[in-house]
Structure 1
Amino acid sequence: MVNRVTLIGRLGRDPEMRYTPSGAAVARFSLATDENRKDQQGNWQQETTWHNIVVWGQSAERASETLKKGTLVYIEGRISVRNWEDKEGQKRTSFEIVAFSFRNLSPKPGSGENFGETSHSHAEPTQGQPPMDEDLPF
């Protein structure tokens, strides 16, 4: 079985950098992807989907340093389901993409380069991820 996601989109906000109690770096940000579809009348409509992205380790630090709101980025990762309780004690579920690789596709200002650097996360937490200290996923 395969759990692999590939996305190209723009950051909706700057990455939010945090550290777990054990010192592991975690960056979170939202990513917008667009898809064009024809509606029932045959008119093209743009549909935007927002994705919650999580990056761990050195890749998280790199994301925090190099990615900003509006950056075009290529993401490879896996879908992760997160169950949590809100402040009122209600059980919640959220889906997020745990990125193991990303590539900045926006050109660096003042350079003739077409693409930025690639970052790979070689060690990503799995089921044993420490719980975040907040009650909302983003």
Structure 2
Amino acid sequence: MADLRLPRLNKVFIAGRITQEPELRYTPKGTPVVRFTVATDRRYKDEMDQWQSMPMYIDVIAWSNQAENICKIAHKGTAVLVEGKIDTRSYVDSNNNNRKVFEIIADHIQSLEWTPKAEGEGVEEEVPLPQEEPNYVAEPVTDDDVPF
């Protein structure tokens, strides 16, 4: 069992709404950092086979350019998609209890809300999706068609 090699994979995606205004801070060395919480929900079926929703609040930390950018484009209630990795840290609270915190260290944060262009720049238009051609029949592919 000692020869088992697992990939070092730590990747998470979360979509939800920011619960409070992101506040940009700086480390003593001047590195921008922002901490905020994303609210999402987990859907499950209860004992009566009815769908229920349970809210979840996930802490997110963003550094450097990501921290500055999220403070420019997002506010309380903004829908975001966060891509990052899970990190843990432990501490002792004021009642002398050991606590463990799970957080997402953001690699990329994207707003999921459409924002219009500034006045005078024109109107942001919705790009239409390509239409399928009606009655299109795909030709069969043979081994002679494959280039390798």
How high is the TM-score relative to the length of structure 1?
0.74
**1:109: how far off?**
5.3
1:1-138 to structure 2, matched below 5 A, reads 1-108=8-115, 112=124
Q: Could you say if the C-alpha distance between residues 81 and 60 of structure 1 is closer, same or farther in structure 2, counting changes exceeding 3 Å? A: same
1:35: how far off? 2.5
2: CA distance, partners of 1:40 / 1:99: 36
- Counterparts of 1:16 and 1:49, CA distance in 2: 21
The more displaced of 77-86 and 22-31 is 77-86
- CA RMSD in angstroms comes to 1.9
Specify the code of the residue in structure 2 equivalent to 1:6: F
Q: Residue by residue, what CA displacement relative to the aligned partner does 1:32-75 show, whole Å, maximum 9, x if unpaired?
A: 11222210101111111110000000110111111111111111
**Identity fraction in percent:** 36
Q: Which has the higher strand share?
A: 1
Distance 1:9 1:19, change over 3 A: same
1:91 to partner: Cα distance = 3.4
Task: Report the number of matched residues.
Answer: 114
Deviates more, 1:103-112 or 1:66-75: 103-112
Query: So what's the TM-score if we normalise by structure 2?
Result: 0.70
